[in-house]
Structure 1
Amino acid sequence: MDFNSLIQHPEVLLLVLAPIFFVCIMLEWYLGDRGNKLPQNARYHLPEVACNFALAGMHQLTDILAGLFIASLYLQVFDWRLFDIQMTLATFVVLMIAQDFCYYWFHRASHRVRWMWAAHVAHHSSENMNFSTAFRQSLTYPLAGMWVFWLPLVIVGFDPNWVVFVVLLNLGLQFFVHTQAVKTLGILEWVFNTPSHHRVHHGRNPQYIDKNYAGILIIWDKMFGTFEPEKQTVVYGITKPVNSFNPLVVTFSEWRDMFSEAFQANLSWKQRLKILFLPPRTHQDK
């Protein structure tokens, strides 16, 4: 597939990058499991790896199907664009930065709005951290509203195909921060999201919860007060463990719990809406 075809069909970008991902997984597995050079919670355990791959497949299939609707919506919105932006190297860089800014707010909302957390929690539910953790995604992201956060880019005047391409490129680059094989990256830690920063994001240590939402640039966390450096050893996972390697359980357990709480008897509509849309740990405040 040439580059022009890829831009016309950006939804396949992650599939194109898949061989690189698999090579990294095999190298990390060999280094950690065979070389015994990584901590226990970086090891590869077959039931979890199988779950992660199943989640990735379900997510990819849903993204392609939902993409048909989302692409149609983006094209309709594009008719109302404010500017006609031609893609050059300079505008591509601007789009990458603008998309990364939008990603920060999407990611932050995914932790602070329970409706969105119900989709995102699948990614955080592993108590291990290795490259396969990046595959741990939810098929319910379209339902949670992820696509809404890229609409401003289309409204401004960026071509929808380029917007989707950059969104998926951002996600593809984030694969490489899901590892314990890299400790620090020196001066790059000041500007970019790195494995160290992202390990913090996956921690359930009290000081690490809801920190480091960055996609590519860590500057957003530093600007908006959500940055936390990696100091204490990270304990991975969530405060309410799923305790399952069944991809359907991992995907839907929080949706089930959320709806069960929201539609119990004798609650007002205000209380129900709070359960659905307040942050996960404070949703029970009345």
Structure 2
Amino acid sequence: MPDFPNLIHFAIPFFILSMLLELYVSTKQHIKTYEIKDAFTSIVMGLGNVFLGFLSKGLVLLALFYVYENFRFFTIPVAWWSFVLLLFADDLSYYWFHRISHECRFFWASHVVHHSSQHYNLSTALRQTWSGSFTSFIFWLWLPLLGFHPAMILLQMSISLLYQFWIHTETINKLPKWFEAVMNTPSHHRVHHGSNPIYLDRNHAGIFIIWDKLFGTFQAELKEEKVVYGLVTNIHTFNPIKVAFIEWYYMLKDTFSGTKSFSNRIKYLIKPPGWKHDGTGKISTDLREEWLNSKKSN
């Protein structure tokens, strides 16, 4: 078992200093990006995620090791070149996890936490799920199957999370074109957090934006369309318990209440957010198409 450090715990002082620096810079730039109650909620959600991570990490390690010890095709050594391969393999895993978390309501019930803030700053990066880590690991099970050691996988997942911290800011506009073309940036990720129809369910990248361009989910930030942060229907609460579980409540209520077929009840778990069995709901593709049609007519 390779002995890798827990990078997230070491990064906590860096997170704090970065938020203070961002607050200073945003004040100089006259950008009102922080709201005390909102930032406090994000920090509490982050602390809760770290605490619950002690519980979920055991489950994740058990699953990864079970696949690695019993079913792996190869044994990939711990070496510099294997970490390069893992960098891209992990990021591809993250892309599909992230994308499906927007397209399947069961996973959205956890991921919605990260999108629930109507502000966009470094504290928003800390607004993490309390439930998602118990299920999201399934998108990484193919990595120990290939032969990557579980400890390597967990380390790379931490590196990916650390990278994504700095892109949650409005203080950085656009970076050099070559960097914007390949890497995930504040501009690309602002789009991802937008509730504007044109921005919904776009830019799912972790580190490399190339996956969105490859799989057709890329959207550039438009000068004429300022990003509006938050959800299509915002939850309007700073209560961490509600932030963590309110979508679970709504999803289960839609699933088990009323008169509907068994198949439609299941669809409330697997269909995208906004879907309704009676056809009255609108998912992100419907909202985007309406927005585009309105632009054409104008």
**TM surpasses 0.5:** yes
**What are the ranges of 5 or more consecutive residues in structure 1 without an aligned counterpart?**
none
1:31 aligns with 25
3-state SS of paired residue (1:50)? helix
1:117 aligns with 108
Query: How many aligned residue pairs are there?
Result: 274
1:48 aligns with 38
Output the amino acid matched with 1:193.
N
1:97 aligns with 88
Q: Are the equivalent residues in 2 in contact too, given 1:277–1:283 (CA < 8 A)?
A: no
Output the amino acid matched with 1:225.
G
Q: Give the Cα–Cα distance (whole angstroms) in 1 for the partners of residues 150 and 249 of structure 2.
A: 34
- Determine which of 240, 265, 275 is the counterpart of 1:272: 265
Residue 188 of structure 1 deviates from its aligned partner by 0.2
2:239 aligns with 246
Q: Give the Cα–Cα distance (whole angstroms) in 2 for the partners of residues 207 and 45 of structure 1.
A: 26
Q: Give the Cα–Cα distance (whole angstroms) in 2 for the partners of residues 100 and 161 of structure 1.
A: 16
Residue 282 of structure 1 deviates from its aligned partner by 2.1
Alignment of 1:94-173 (within 5 A): 94-143=85-134, 145-173=135-163
**1:64-122 alpha-carbon deviations (Å, 9 max, x no partner):** 21111221121111112110101211110110111001100000000000000000001
**1:14-49 alpha-carbon deviations (Å, 9 max, x no partner):** 11111111111010011223x2x1433x2x221111
Q: Are the equivalent residues in 2 in contact too, given 1:102–1:150 (CA < 8 A)?
A: yes
Alignment of 1:179-218 (within 5 A): 179-186=169-176, 187-218=178-209
Query: After TM superposition, which residue ranges in structure 1, 4 or more long, deviate above 4 angstroms?
Result: none
- Determine which of 73, 76, 84 is the counterpart of 2:66: 76
Larger deviation, residues 259-268 vs 217-226: 259-268
- Determine which of 228, 234, 250 is the counterpart of 1:257: 250
Q: Are the equivalent residues in 2 in contact too, given 1:210–1:226 (CA < 8 A)?
A: yes
**1:137-191 alpha-carbon deviations (Å, 9 max, x no partner):** 1111034x21001100011000001101101110111001100111011120000
**1:197-256 alpha-carbon deviations (Å, 9 max, x no partner):** 000000011100000000000000000100000012101000111100111111111000
Output the amino acid matched with 2:76.
I
1:222 aligns with 213
**TM-score, normalization: structure 2?**
0.89
Output the amino acid matched with 2:11.
L
Output the amino acid matched with 1:83.
F
Q: Give the Cα–Cα distance (whole angstroms) in 1 for the partners of residues 35 and 233 of structure 2.
A: 21
Q: Are the equivalent residues in 2 in contact too, given 1:38–1:181 (CA < 8 A)?
A: no
Output the amino acid matched with 2:52.
T
1:21 aligns with 15
**TM-score, normalization: structure 1?**
0.93
Q: Are the equivalent residues in 2 in contact too, given 1:262–1:275 (CA < 8 A)?
A: yes
Q: Give the Cα–Cα distance (whole angstroms) in 2 for the partners of residues 278 and 39 of structure 1.
A: 37
Q: Give the Cα–Cα distance (whole angstroms) in 2 for the partners of residues 285 and 175 of structure 1.
A: 40
Output the amino acid matched with 2:31.
P
Output the amino acid matched with 2:183.
F
**What are the ranges of 5 or more consecutive residues in structure 2 without an aligned counterpart?**
280-298
RMSD of aligned Cα (Å): 1.3
Q: Give the Cα–Cα distance (whole angstroms) in 1 for the partners of residues 278 and 22 of structure 2.
A: 43
Output the amino acid matched with 1:252.
F
Residue 285 of structure 1 deviates from its aligned partner by 5.1
